Amino acid sequence: MTLLHIDSSADTPADSVSRRLTGRFLTVWRARHRGPVRHRDLAADPVPPLTAAYTALGRRVERAGMVPPDTVPALLSGPDEEREWALTRPLIDELRTARTLLLGVPMYNLSVPASLKAWIDRVTFPGAFTDPDSGESLLAGTRVVAVLARGGGYGPGTPREHHDFQAPYLRTYFGNLGVTDLHLVTADLTRADLIPHLAGLEHLAARSLTEAEQRLTALAAGPASRVPG
């Protein structure tokens, strides 16, 4: 019942809606479930961007037939690749052992923060989440709860609906990894009280936040995964 909790907001908890909402989920989850919690703050402890040594190692692994992580050390070539693998393997292990992944994802410039993208780029190593015998995804039993906080309104039917490259990206990314238990929880208009052209929409912002809180409470109190194990 391990929970991996990742925050990517550059704001402090006092100023970050996504951090407050992931904190709410975590409080309810801890009251209902037993198991370790691993918290990774990508703003305070950023994941280094990829280097040429990472990509060279990744290509070598692909040529070897997408070998499991335990086999990768035998394919390392030189200290640069050893360093890249040392940075990458712990992130892979964290995600592989998590039954629930909780993500705090503010919208930055219509998409996800660079800090989260750096984590995604590094953790998505060739073969890391594929069973070498069956070819099935090792994340099929992982529940992913992504908390999306957006300063404006991007919901269905809004003028800026097609400007949302945050939710579609996460949905496509995790679907490509074989995740079937994905929940995107959105809080829209989080800056309605600060941005002049959003004035008058504060009631919609409050409703969106309340709905996000209620949904996260229900998700945190429910089963940790749809797949036993």
| Cβ atoms within 10 Å of 170's Cβ, excluding its own | 22
DSSP state at residue 131: -
Structural contact between residues 64 and 70, judged by C-beta atoms closer than 8 angstroms: no
The pLDDT, as a whole number, for residue 229 is: 26
Write down the pLDDT at residue 227.
37
The pair of three-digit structure tokens given for residue 72, joined into one six-digit string: 């990768």
d(CA 69, CA 67): 7
Structure tokens at 125: 């190593």
- Provide the token pair at 181: 């238990």
Helices 202-221, 17-32: crossing angle, 10 deg rounding: 30
Task: Select the CATH number that applies to the domain covering 3-38+88-119+136-221 from these four: 3.40.50.720, 3.40.50.300, 3.20.20.140, 3.40.50.360.
Answer: 3.40.50.360
| pLDDT the model gives residue 20 | 97
Residue 228: what pLDDT? Answer: 31
At residue 224, the pLDDT reads 55
Question: pTM here?
Answer: 0.93
With H, G, I as helix, E, B as strand and everything else as coil, classify residue 88: helix
* pLDDT for 202: 78
How many Å apart are CA 17 and CA 8, to the nearest integer? Answer: 11
Instruction: Please list the pLDDT of the chain residue by residue as tens digits (229 residues).
Output: 899 999 999 999 899 999 999 999 999 999 999 899 999 999 999 999 999 999 999 999 999 987 899 999 999 999 999 999 999 999 999 999 999 999 999 999 999 999 999 999 999 999 999 998 898 999 999 999 999 999 888 888 887 889 999 999 999 999 999 999 999 999 998 877 777 777 777 788 889 999 999 999 999 998 754 433 2
